[in-house]
Structure 1
Amino acid sequence: MTKHILPPVAKKISVQLEKHGDIRTDDYFWMKERDAPEVLDYLNQENEYYHKLTANTKDFQKSLFEEMKARIKEDDSSVPYKHNGFWYYRRFETGKDYPLYCRKEATLDSEEIIVFDNNKMAEGYSYFSQASYAVSEDNMIAAFGIDTVSRRQYTIRFKNLKTGEIYPAEIKNTTGGAVWSNDNKTVYYTRKDEETLRSNQIFKHTLGTDPSQDELVYQENDETFYTYVFKSKSKDYIMIGSDSTMTSEFRFASAAKGTTDFKVFQERTRGLEYAVSHYDDSFYIQTNKDKATNFKLMKTPVSATGMENWVDIIPHRDDTLLEDVEIFKDFLVVSERSNGLNKIHIKRWDNSESYYLPFDNETYDAYPTTNIDFDTQILRYAYNALNTPASVIDFDMVTQEKVVLKEQEVLGGNFDKDNYNMERIWATAQDGVKVPVSIIYHKDTQLDGTAPLLQYAYGSYGSTTDPSFSTIRLSLLDRGFIYAIAHVRGGEYLGRKWYEDGKLLKKRNTFTDFIDVSKHLISNSYTSASHLYAYGGSAGGLLMGAIVNMAPELYNGIIAAVPFVDVVTTMLDDTIPLTTGEYDEWGNPNEKESYEYMKSYSPYDNAFAKAYPNIFVTTGYHDSQVQYWEPAKWVAKLREMNQADTKIMFHCNMDAGHGGASGRFEALKEIAEDYAFLLDLESITQ
Structure 2
Amino acid sequence: MTNRVETSSAPPVAKKIPARREHHGDVFVDDYEWLRDKDDPEVVAYLEAQNAYTETQTASLAPLRSDIYNEIRSRTQETDMSVPVRSGRFWYYVRTEEGKSYGIRCRRPIAGDDDWTPPEIAGDGPIEGEQILFDSNVEAEGHEFFSLGAHSVSHDGRWLAYSTDTVGDERYTLRIKDLETGELLPDVIEGTAGGATWSKDAKYLFYLTVDDAWRPDTVWRHTVGAGSTSTSLSMNAASGPDRTGSGTDDVRVFHEPDERYWVGFGATHSEEYLMIAAGSKLTSEIFALSMNDPTGEFTSVAGRTEGVEYSAEHARLGGRDYFLIVHNDEIDGVKAVDFAVDVMPVDDPSARRNLLPHRPSFRIEDVDCFADYLVLSYREDALPRLAIADLRGRDALPGADDFVPVTFDQELCSVGLGPNPEWDTPHLRIVYGSYVDPTEVLDLDVSTGERTLLKRAVVLGEYHPADYVAEREWAVADDGTRIPVSIVRRADADRGVPAPVLLNGYGAYEISSDPGFSVQALSLLDRGVAVATAHVRGGGEMGRDWYEEGRVLAKKNTFTDFVAVARHLVETGVTTPGQLVADGGSAGGLLMGAVANLAPELFGGILAAVPFVDPLTSILDPSLPLTVTEWDEWGDPLHDPEIYAYIRSYAPYENVAELPYPAMLILTSFQDTRVLFTEAAKWAARLQESTTSGKPVLLRTEMNGGHGGPSGRYRQWEEAAFELAWILSVSGAVSA
Please give the TM-score of this superposition, normalised by the length of structure 2: 0.91
- 5+ residue gaps, structure 1: none
Deviations 1:249-288 (A, max 9, x none): 1111121243141112222111010001002311000000
CA contact (8 A) 2:390 2:446 kept: no
4+ runs deviating over 3 angstroms? 107-110, 349-354
Sequence identity (%): 40
CA contact (8 A) 1:182 1:257 kept: no
Give the whole-Å Cα distance in 1 for the aligned partners of 2:102 and 2:288. Answer: 36
Residue 333 of structure 1: how far off its partner (Å): 1.5
Is it true that 1:274 corresponds to 2:310 in the alignment? yes
| Counterpart AA for 1:207 | V
Give the whole-Å Cα distance in 2 for the aligned partners of 1:340 and 1:33. Answer: 42
Give the whole-Å Cα distance in 1 for the aligned partners of 2:48 and 2:99. Answer: 30
Is it true that 1:404 corresponds to 2:453 in the alignment? yes
Partner of 1:620: 669
Partner of 2:205: 187
Partner of 1:56: 60
Partner of 2:295: 259
> What is the aligned counterpart of 1:16 among 14, 20, 25?
20
Partner of 1:326: 368
Give the whole-Å Cα distance in 1 for the aligned partners of 2:219 and 2:373. Answer: 33
**Secondary structure of 1:360 counterpart:** coil
> What is the aligned counterpart of 1:296 among 326, 340, 360?
340
Give the whole-Å Cα distance in 2 for the aligned partners of 1:31 and 1:355. Answer: 55
Give the whole-Å Cα distance in 2 for the aligned partners of 1:390 and 1:206. Answer: 41
> What is the aligned counterpart of 2:680 among 606, 621, 631?
631
Residue 234 of structure 1: how far off its partner (Å): 1.1
Give the whole-Å Cα distance in 2 for the aligned partners of 1:353 and 1:548. Answer: 49
Deviations 1:537-596 (A, max 9, x none): 000000000000000000000000000000100001111111111100011111111111
> What is the aligned counterpart of 2:220 among 203, 228, 243?
203
Give the whole-Å Cα distance in 2 for the aligned partners of 1:683 and 1:78. Answer: 35
**Secondary structure of 2:214 counterpart:** coil
| Counterpart AA for 1:11 | K
Give the whole-Å Cα distance in 2 for the aligned partners of 1:565 and 1:123. Answer: 35
Residue 619 of structure 1: how far off its partner (Å): 0.3
- Match runs of 1:122-521 below 5 Å: 122-193=140-211, 195-210=212-227, 211=229, 212=245, 213-280=249-316, 281-290=321-330, 291-305=335-349, 309-349=351-391, 350=394, 351=398, 353-412=402-461, 414-521=462-569
| Counterpart AA for 2:583 | Y
> What is the aligned counterpart of 1:89 among 85, 90, 93?
93
CA contact (8 A) 2:16 2:31 kept: yes
Query: Which protein, 1 or 2, shows the higher relative CO under an 8 Å CA cutoff with sep ≥ 6?
Result: 2
Give the whole-Å Cα distance in 1 for the aligned partners of 2:41 and 2:368. Answer: 53
- Bigger drift between 323-332 and 521-530 goes to 323-332
- Bigger drift between 67-76 and 375-384 goes to 375-384
Residue 444 of structure 1: how far off its partner (Å): 2.5
Alpha carbons of structure 1 residues 189 and 668: separation in structure 2 relative to 1, 3 Å: same
Deviations 1:173-219 (A, max 9, x none): 111111111121101100111x2111111000001113221111111
| Counterpart AA for 1:302 | V
> What is the aligned counterpart of 2:637 among 589, 595, 602?
589
- 5+ residue gaps, structure 2: 112-118, 120-126, 230-244
Deviations 1:119-169 (A, max 9, x none): 111000000011141111111110001000011111110000011111222
Give the whole-Å Cα distance in 2 for the aligned partners of 1:136 and 1:374. Answer: 16
Partner of 2:83: 79
CA contact (8 A) 2:54 2:700 kept: yes
Give the whole-Å Cα distance in 1 for the aligned partners of 2:64 and 2:167. Answer: 30
Residue 527 of structure 1: how far off its partner (Å): 0.2
Give the whole-Å Cα distance in 1 for the aligned partners of 2:259 and 2:552. Answer: 18
> What is the aligned counterpart of 2:73 among 57, 69, 72?
69
> What is the aligned counterpart of 2:621 among 569, 573, 581?
573
**Secondary structure of 1:133 counterpart:** strand
Is it true that 1:118 corresponds to 2:147 in the alignment? no
Partner of 1:670: 719
| Counterpart AA for 2:336 | A
Is it true that 1:684 corresponds to 2:734 in the alignment? yes
Give the whole-Å Cα distance in 2 for the aligned partners of 1:417 and 1:673. Answer: 26
Give the whole-Å Cα distance in 1 for the aligned partners of 2:444 and 2:733. Answer: 48
Partner of 1:542: 590
Residue 66 of structure 1: how far off its partner (Å): 1.1
Give the whole-Å Cα distance in 1 for the aligned partners of 2:694 and 2:41. Answer: 31
CA contact (8 A) 2:432 2:441 kept: yes
CA contact (8 A) 2:172 2:190 kept: yes
Give the whole-Å Cα distance in 2 for the aligned partners of 1:121 and 1:260. Answer: 36
Residue 685 of structure 1: how far off its partner (Å): 4.5
Alpha carbons of structure 1 residues 274 and 200: separation in structure 2 relative to 1, 3 Å: same
Residue 449 of structure 1: how far off its partner (Å): 4.7
- Bigger drift between 347-356 and 676-685 goes to 347-356
CA contact (8 A) 2:537 2:549 kept: yes
| Counterpart AA for 2:715 | E
Residue 309 of structure 1: how far off its partner (Å): 4.2
Give the whole-Å Cα distance in 1 for the aligned partners of 2:183 and 2:341. Answer: 45
**Secondary structure of 2:719 counterpart:** helix
Deviations 1:287-312 (A, max 9, x none): 0010111111111111244xx54311
| Counterpart AA for 2:599 | A
Give the whole-Å Cα distance in 2 for the aligned partners of 1:289 and 1:573. Answer: 32
| Counterpart AA for 2:734 | I
Give the whole-Å Cα distance in 2 for the aligned partners of 1:110 and 1:423. Answer: 44
Residue 450 of structure 1: how far off its partner (Å): 2.7
| Counterpart AA for 2:646 | Y
Give the whole-Å Cα distance in 2 for the aligned partners of 1:611 and 1:61. Answer: 28
CA contact (8 A) 1:183 1:257 kept: no
**Secondary structure of 1:125 counterpart:** coil
Give the whole-Å Cα distance in 2 for the aligned partners of 1:671 and 1:100. Answer: 23
Deviations 1:372-417 (A, max 9, x none): 22323411111111110000000100011110000011012x2111
| Counterpart AA for 2:259 | E
CA contact (8 A) 2:390 2:447 kept: no
